[in-house]
Structure formats: structure tokens, C-alpha cells
Amino acid sequence: MADTEKASDDVLERPIRDEDGAFDHELVEKVSQALLLSDLTTLRGVVEDMHEADLGALLEALDVDERPRLISLLGADFDFTALTEVDDAVREEILEELSAQTVAEGVRELDTDDAVYILEDMDEADKQEVLDRLTPAERIVLQQGLDYPENSAGRRMQSEILAVPAFWTVGQTIDHLRQTENLPERFFEVLVADPAHHFVGSVPLDRLLRTQRPVAIATLVDEDSRAVNATDDIEDVARLFQRYNLIATPVIDEAGRLVGVLTIDDIVDVIEQAADDDVKQLGGVDADEELSDSVPQIARSRFRWLFVNLITAFLAAAVMSLFEAQLTQLVALAILAPIVASQGGNAATQTMTVAVRALATQELGSWNIRRFFTRELIVALINGVAFALITGVVAAFWFGNLWLGFVIGIAMVINLVAAALAGVAIPFLLDRADIDPAVSSGTFVTTVTDVVGFFAFLGTATILLGLR
């Protein structure tokens, strides 16, 4: 018995993650065993000093039925912030199994931005049941955040703010910070507001602490402080943080009144999510797909774009069917044609990826599209000539036909130029039409390179090789 307890203690004292960042599976097994035995002492020992990100990873590592049981057993010892660190699908499954009272007690202890993040994806009936179990003051604050548009600054902001009047002195402000209990958990500046709570400016904490106590706050206000509107798109706000190296920014309503604050930890999540969505959509994967999704969910979400790709593949095949007689006369054409199309597709994907990302970060627009287009065209010509020489020489030696080398070389140049044109033009035009280029560009660009590649190669072969 003593040896078992010693082994248990060893597991709990080991690092949660190994050198590669992988979660300790022996710890997961220990938690599963403790859940089976309702061993609350062991569970509390595990989560006592665990960061919410690690607690989220532990939740994802547990079986589906073990996750809500862990939360219910721990009660007030469970940090609900961990639910902001798990996949959306995992969080929704957990919330469906928890009682409204348990969720209400959990979100009550969170900052408003985290509480709103957890509640926003719940069914309306379940969400309302949770809100009804909060105090009127708590309910109003959370409902305000939930009422803002889904991808707005108001949804991500923290409603707990620190604001003082401009006529206060540095000494009064510092005393206020020391004596007030309900301050935000972390803050980087003191916001300044007028009597009607309109935003005036901000005072960084380092400037505040370096100034003598009798000095008026009004003399320290940074009037260039950037405030964002609660209805602003959160990705636009994230770009402001990137552009101006912001740590925090106040959020105001349409009347200019302070309603919250956004901090860099919120914005890092936004940037990561936006990049994650772009990568998925470029690959034809739904942005909402998570590793925890079920097989039917994933199959259903991927079917749509695979079906579109199938239709475009038939279009490319139709082009090849136009040259059926030539293909039967010279089998080498059927062998080499996919090389031209594949090389064009890869080149187009490179150009398209750069273009889509530049459009997403607003680095590419009408002011520099011509320069970007010219650059990509020159790159395509250089690579086209280089690969024309390589494939031409290989094809000529492979099939003992010098003219076949010329044919594939010409087709290679044409298709790589077409790839550059499509890789820039299609994302740009989709963006101008208010269609997310990350979602649709890949299919259209690939179709262009397949059709142009086959047509250029087989059409050139028909002319130069005298095929009929």
C-alpha cells in the first residue's frame, strides 16, 4: 500500500509536460483512476497549481464522460478559465453535461471576456438558464457582451476597467489602486474619463509610478491613446495591436463612453485563430473543424469542397478529351501532360498563399497590386524558363524526341505564367467581391492551371509534332 502511495506521489510531482511539450500520459491515467474512485484529495493535488492551459490539455486528454465528472467533483476548485483553452467541440460537449447552476458558479468567478467566450456558443435556452442564475448586476454585464456582434471588439473585451477622473492627483490614484478590491486582475495603464464616463486618455503605469504624488493626472494623460469601438471587427483591432505594438486599448461605445478594455492576451488568441482559419480554408477544410470532431462531422464538412474539386477535375479531363486522337498517336503525351499541370498547380499555390495572406493582413491592396503582380510575373518567367530547360532535356532524352522537349518546355513557361496570373488575380477579385479568398481561391486557381497546362501542352504538341 505504501509503495502504491509513493508511486502516486511521484506521478504528481513530475513535470506536467515533457521536453517536447507533450502531456504526461501517466498523470492522465492517475486522474482517470482518481475519478473512478471519486478520490477528491488526489484530484485537488493535481489541479492545485496547474495553469489553465495545462488544465485544458488535461480535459482534452480525458475520456468524454470523465470531463464533466472532473469538473463536478472539484466544484469551486476547478478553474473555469480552462474551458477557454479547449477545442470548441470539447467545450460544447462538457457544457451540455453540466448543470446550469454549475456553469453559473463557474463563470461568476471569471473575467467577463472569458465568461462571454464560454457562454456564446451555448444553445439560447441553456444560455438563458445560466444567466437567470446570476445576480442582476452580473447578468447585465455578461448580456452586454453577448449582445455585441460575434466577431466584434465588444465580444472579446473585458468589462472590468480601471478609470479615474482627470482632476485626481497621482497620490490619489495610487491610493485608490491600493485600497480598491474589485480591480481588474491585470492592467497596464490607468484610463482617464470625464464625469459622464467619456474616454479622455490613458496614463501608463510606468509614467504614473515615476511621477510625484501632488501632480495632477491631467498633466500625464496620453491624448494619443487609441480607443476602438465596441462594434469594430476584432481582426481589424488585432492589426492595430500589431501595427502600433499595443499592450492594451480601451473600448468605447458609439457615444464615446468607456465600456471595456482589450489586452494583448485576447489579441494573441484572435491572431492565432485567424491564421489557423486561413490555413484550413486554403486547404479546403472548414474553419470550424477541430481535432476532437467526430468522423461523420469531418466527412460532412469536407465533402462540399471535394465535390467542387471533382467537378473542376471533369473540366480538366474534358480538355484532354479534345486531344484524344493525339494521345493515342503518341503515348508520351499522356505521360508528360500531368507534369505540366502539376508544376503549374504548385507554382500557383505558392503565389496564391502569399496573395491571400497579404490580403488578410491588409498589406496588399489597389495601391500596390500592380507592383506585386509584376513581381510574381517576373518570378514565373524565370522559373518557367528554368523548368522548361530541365523538363525539355529530360523529355528529349527519355523519349528520344527533341521536338517533344521543345513542346513541354513551351507548355511549362505558358502554364507557370498562367499560374502567376491566376494566383494573384483570383484572390484579389474574390476579395473585392467581399468573398473570403482563403475559402475559394484554391479550387479556382487549380482549375486554371490544369486547363491551361493540358491545353498548352497538347495544343503545342499538335502544332509542332504534326499530330492530327
What CATH number corresponds to the domain at position 144? Answer: 1.25.60.10
Give yes or no for residue 17 having a pLDDT over 70.
no
pLDDT at 226: 80
Is the dihedral angle over the CA atoms 391, 396, 398, 399 positive or is it negative? positive
164 — phi, psi (to 5°)? -130, 160
* Maximum average pLDDT range among 276-290, 403-417, 435-449: 403-417
Which domain CATH number covers 370? 1.10.357.20
pLDDT at 283: 66
Confidence of residue 220 (pLDDT cuts 50, 70, 90): very high
pLDDT tens, 349-399? 889 888 888 887 778 888 888 999 999 999 999 999 999 999 999 999 998
pLDDT at 12: 46
Domain, as residue range, for 402: 295-464
The total number of structural domains that make up the chain: 3
Judge if 17 and 131 occupy the same domain.
yes
Confidence of residue 20 (pLDDT cuts 50, 70, 90): low
Judge if 169 and 56 occupy the same domain.
no
Give yes or no for residue 315 having a pLDDT over 70.
yes
Can you tell me the distance from the alpha carbon of 258 to that of 170, in angstroms, rounded to the nearest whole number? 21
210 — phi, psi (to 5°)? -95, 0
pLDDT at 54: 87
Judge if 133 and 241 occupy the same domain.
no
381 — phi, psi (to 5°)? -65, -45
Taking a C-beta distance cutoff of 8 angstroms, is the pair 132, 119 a contact? no
Confidence of residue 172 (pLDDT cuts 50, 70, 90): very high
In a domain, 289, yes or no: no
Judge if 410 and 322 occupy the same domain.
yes
181 — phi, psi (to 5°)? -85, -40
The residue assigned the cell 513551351 is 410
Q: Which three cell numbers stand for residue 343?
A: 508544376
Judge if 24 and 66 occupy the same domain.
yes
Q: How far is CA 116 from the centre of its chain?
A: 18
Can you tell me the distance from the alpha carbon of 98 to that of 397, in angstroms, rounded to the nearest whole number? 70
Last residue of a domain, one of 94, 129, 155: 155
State the average pLDDT over residues 403-427.
91
Residue 449 neighbours by CB distance under 10 Å: 26
Q: Which range has the worst mean pLDDT, 130-134, 145-149, 301-305, 430-434?
A: 301-305
Give yes or no for residue 25 having a pLDDT over 80.
no
In a domain, 416, yes or no: yes
Q: Which range has the worst mean pLDDT, 305-309, 339-343, 390-394?
A: 305-309
Taking a C-beta distance cutoff of 8 angstroms, is the pair 212, 184 a contact? no
Give yes or no for residue 5 having a pLDDT over 70.
no
- Give buried/exposed letters for 7-19 (b at 16+ CB in 10 A, else e): ebeebeeeebeee
In a domain, 455, yes or no: yes
Give yes or no for residue 44 having a pLDDT over 70.
yes
Give yes or no for residue 211 having a pLDDT over 90.
yes
Can you tell me the distance from the alpha carbon of 355 to that of 342, in angstroms, rounded to the nearest whole number? 20
Give yes or no for residue 52 having a pLDDT over 60.
yes
In a domain, 290, yes or no: no
pLDDT at 193: 92
Which domain CATH number covers 212? 3.10.580.10
- State the pairing for strand pair 258-263/228-229: unpaired
What is the chain's mean pLDDT, rounded?
85
| Closest to 431 in 3D by CA, of 369, 344, 377, 376 | 369
Q: Could you list the beta-strand ranges (E) of 62-214.
A: 163-165, 189-193, 199-204
Task: Name the percent of the chain in helix, strand, coil, to the closest 5.
Answer: 65, 10, 25
